[in-house]
Amino acid sequence: MPMNGYRKQNESLLSRAFWRFIGGALLILAGIVICVSCFSDVNNHYPLKILTSLGVCLMLISGAYPWLLPNKKRSFALPILSSTLITLLILRAYTFNLYEVLKVILIFASLFSTISNGFFLFTKFEKKQFISSISIVLFGASIMIFSIVFTASQKEVVFSSNINNEIVLVQGDTIQVGPYFANYVDVNDGVQKDEYLIELFEISPQRYPLGQIVEFNKMYFRSIKEHLASNRFINDLDENWSILPFPSSVQIDKSEDWISGTPGKLIFTATPFKCKGHFHDYTYHSLLFGFQISVKEDLRDTPIGNVVIIKSVILPLLEILWLGGFFLIIGIFFLIYQIHNNNK
């Protein structure tokens, strides 16, 4: 009996140590993925594939954790079916390239781990039972990895006619930049840092009545129904406009340039900056996405005034990353507390 008790105690310790190792590995993986995702446009994708494959394995193992505990009769069906359904919905709503198969698998695996550990925590909380700190850590890490992978694969560079999708902002001008209107206000010159002030306004959609004629890209179109313009003309073309292949002089005179809308209320002021010759990004966080502005070049005292060349990227579901980080930190503190109490 003493030997059996000793063996069980060792197995329990080994089990706890193993899952603590998995939790630590997930933390390291999350940090590496964050760093690598910043350089995901490099030509050599082999290290990223290895990292993604490792992430899939760790996510599947962490998702299996609650169901492999002793004396716990549960089924894998609920988390597997739920994560499969959500993954299919994501594939239907968003576009993934063929070479991103590993990312899709990692999204499924991270969803499986999130749902599995989340359901386990919920049942423990509902029954007022002891809540495992490991499950909290795995739950938070899974959310973080899902957010990182999804955001990296679905980030959208704001469209521009420039070959590099860069946008030219002249000081004082207000132009549309993605879902906002941007106005380059000024630059605060400093000894160590130059800070660029760019105001971003919401778009008040333009209303077009039936029969309105507009010019877009040197072509003329007639509105076939009253509607509010979307952010991009191409989104409205099929349902709201018909092309005028040979407009008359009267129609040309009555036409106006197509615009998506006019600047509404000020949403935020972006302050990307330049420090010691290096440009630093500014990211605005909303509920469903992040909006990143990068200054690529600044030109002072040109014939048209001060100019900044920027690049903007929309990062969907970026805020979920912070939600996962919150649970991760809570789990780590809870884990440290449990280890401290066990060592007393």
- Does residue 123 share a domain with residue 14? yes
The partner residues of 201 in beta bridges, in order of sequence, read 181, 266
263 pairs with which residues across the strands?
203
CA nearest neighbour of 170 among 297, 267, 309: 309
Residue 21: pLDDT band (50, 70, 90) is low
Token readout for 124 is 């423990």
User: Which tens digits make up the pLDDT trace of 210-242?
Assistant: 999 999 988 999 999 999 999 889 889 999 999
Report yes or no: 180 and 200 within 8 Å, Cβ to Cβ: yes
Domain-embedded: residue 159: no
Same domain, 143 and 177: no
Q: Are residues 275 and 184 in the same domain?
A: yes
Same domain membership, residue 289 and residue 238: yes
One domain, residues 282 and 312: yes
Q: Residue 8: its pLDDT value, please?
A: 47
Q: In terms of domains, do 102 and 177 share one?
A: no
Examine the domain organization and report whether 35 and 173 are in the same domain. Answer: no
How much is the pLDDT for 71?
55
- Residue whose structure tokens are 């972006």: 270
pTM for the model: 0.73
Q: 7 with 149, same domain? A: yes
Task: Burial-class residue 80 by CB neighbours within 10 Å (0-12, 13-18, 19+).
Answer: middle
What is the extent of the structural domain holding 256? Answer: 167-316
User: Per the domain annotation, does 321 fall within a domain?
Assistant: no
Nearest in space to 151 (alpha carbons), one of 325, 323, 321: 321
Same domain, residue pair 134 and 200: no
Residue 326, in any domain of the structure: no
At 127-155, the pLDDT tens digits run: 766 677 778 888 988 898 898 889 888 88
Q: How many domains does the chain have?
A: 2
